[in-house]
Structure 1
């Protein structure tokens, strides 16, 4: 849970309930250290609604505070404090500054920020990653950490980290080797790099 201010009673109650569900599932938390203070944390794979609960519990056991992006409209009214307490950062897609720029701005103004992103975006296509996680990390000049859940071993947490250079295919070799060791499906990073170059070309 985020701790920029004292969480509301509702937030604390929900958080405690989610941790209770996580603990009953018998997971073990592990981490490669040191953990960067600023990084994009990959949440892979994203195959179940349990992923959020498991990853929340794992990072709690590792004493790591993580955050996630959500539509800015979810932070309006009574939901606002709850979303922030749970670690949410609002993203306004109507702003001239896109998602990458907004998150780079968040990284610049914070001393610590571990931003969790599911690279697959949805649960419908395992291994079909988007390029957003890489563009944010490279744009902000921060590490990418290989977060993971391994249902077979009931183990999860934070794996190795890498610093993006702009060469997605070469940079992600570390991630590819790590996720392969965990039997986690990853994309064809050459094809993903080609998509990234295509996006760059469209912006020029």
Structure 2
């Protein structure tokens, strides 16, 4: 077995065991494609990050996510990169959706993660970037969740966005109904 695969296999085992020790249940239903967008909600605590990375390593999914120094000022760039974080060149800052869609054309397999709330604080609406990236790249959206009361984390539903925002938004609301973050008072409405 190549060295890289051995390392990933070991990390996966350690991550699975850690989630078991923390008494978190996992639910996984991935699409059959190698390219998709993951969204994670509700996002109400910084604890969501280590739990998400443990979960993704435990199921051998290497998601990429847009990171910058403002978002993760305490983590060294090397750690952010190792966890899948990447920056876009400054010139693309005004048109990030197109730049992210372009990433899908340059890779045979790509999983891109988004936190639609964008913060652990209460927000009145979700950011729409994940939706437009999925539409532009023609890839499914996989719904990730953390439900703290039941201690369940997972990726349990995938759908192709229809382009009808109202219909897709209703499906998102229905899916996330009853899922509760660590700080439920910080959960905002699912509106785009």
TM range (shorter): 0.7 to 0.9
Pick aligned residue for 1:149 from 139, 146, 162:
146
Q: 1:35: how far off?
A: 5.0
Match of 1:45 in 2: 42
Deviations 1:67-99 (A, max 9, x none): 11113899xxxx554432211122234337711
Greater RCO (Cα-Cα under 8 Å, separation 6 or more): 2
Match of 1:196 in 2: none
Q: State the alpha-carbon separation in 2 of the partners of residues 103 and 31 from structure 1.
A: 25
Change (3 A) 1:117 1:69: same
Change (3 A) 1:153 1:35: farther
Q: 1:50: how far off?
A: 0.6
Q: How many residues align?
A: 175
Pick aligned residue for 2:122 from 119, 125, 132:
125
8 Å contact from structure 2 (residues 122, 188) kept in 1: no
Match of 1:88 in 2: 85
Match of 2:8 in 1: none
Query: Is residue 179 of structure 2 the alignment partner of residue 187 of structure 1?
Result: no
8 Å contact from structure 2 (residues 41, 145) kept in 1: yes
Query: Is residue 31 of structure 2 the alignment partner of residue 34 of structure 1?
Result: yes
Q: TM-score, normalized by length of structure 2?
A: 0.76
Match of 1:109 in 2: 106
Q: Which runs of 5+ in 1 are unaligned?
A: 7-14, 193-204
Matches within 5 A, 1:136-175: 136-175=133-172
Q: 1:28: how far off?
A: 1.6
Q: Which runs of 5+ in 2 are unaligned?
A: 5-10, 182-186
When the two chains are superposed, the root-mean-square deviation of aligned CA atoms in Å is 3.2
Q: 1:130: how far off?
A: 1.2
Match of 1:54 in 2: 51
Match of 1:12 in 2: none
Give the 3-state SS of the residue equivalent to 2:100 in structure 1.
helix
Q: TM-score, normalized by length of structure 1?
A: 0.72
